[in-house]
A and B are shown apart, each in its own frame.
Chain A
Amino acid sequence: GESVGLHLPTLSVQEGDNSIINCAYSNSASDYFIWYKQESGKGPQFIIDIRSNMDKRQGQRVTVLLNKTVKHLSLQIAATQPGDSAVYFCAENMGDDKIIFGKGTRLHILP
């Protein structure tokens, strides 16, 4: 399928290394944050979320860090694998009924 995000910032990481993808969110009133992974030709896939009363949350091989002081969110992927190649989006919710997406980052895994 057509590649999503041909002009997105790209992060290249050696297979097996850790990846850190950063995101600056826009609204200090946001209280729920999500990271999505999007592979070519597919819709965004939920990875991990975090609420504003937390500053760190861990999943399987992934960790999300939230710094509300500077409105910054990061996604850490441990031991990056070829299957992690995708575009990653952060998204925020302000307690209303929709999620607003940020700009994506393409993660490229080097063999």
Chain B
Amino acid sequence: GAGVSQTPSNKVTEKGKYVELRCDPISGHTALYWYRQSLGQGPEFLIYFQGTGAADDSGLPNDRFFAVRPEGSVSTLKIQRTERGDSAVYLCASSPERANYGYTFGSGTRLTVV
């Protein structure tokens, strides 16, 4: 597609529920990144995929967070047993190759845990 697409744009869920957030990167981009942005903060790195594999997941806060990219294109960020502190905007970005050529971000999914 023309840009990075994220769905849904907004998600409200109850504490303890499971959620999935989807990212469609720019066609042909091999690198895909997930970030989390809390109000008043810059985006914080969560995980990076190169192709199908998670090359760096050092930013995932705990084992309730997991992400997949089974065919090297679309990625899904999965959050189990959601907590109110998980409320944030979750941003996805893609890059043709590596981070040092800059990324293109999607508009994000705003997750609210009530």
Contacts and interface: CB of A to CB of B under 8 A. Distances in A.
B31 A97 contact: yes
A34 interface: yes
Nearest to B59: A98
Nearest to A36: B105
Contacts of B45: 98-100
B55 interface: yes
Interface residues of A, number: 31
B93 interface: yes
Contacts of A42: 107-108
Contact of B99 (A8, A45, A96): A96
B2 interface: no
A97 B105 contact: no
B107 A4 contact: no
A101 B39 contact: no
Given A4-B37, A44-B43, A97 B98 contact: yes
Contact of B91 (A6, A44, A91, A96): A44
Interface residues of B, number: 31
B44 A93 contact: no
Given A93-B100, A99-B103, A43 B93 contact: yes
A95 B43 CA distance: 19
A97 to B, nearest CB: 5
26 contacts: A2-B39, A4-B37, A4-B89, A5-B39, A8-B40, A32-B99, A41-B107, A43-B93, A43-B106, A44-B91, A44-B105, A46-B103, A46-B104, A96-B56, A96-B99, A97-B31, A97-B50, A98-B45, A98-B59, A98-B99, A99-B45, A99-B99, A99-B103, A100-B45, A101-B35, A101-B43
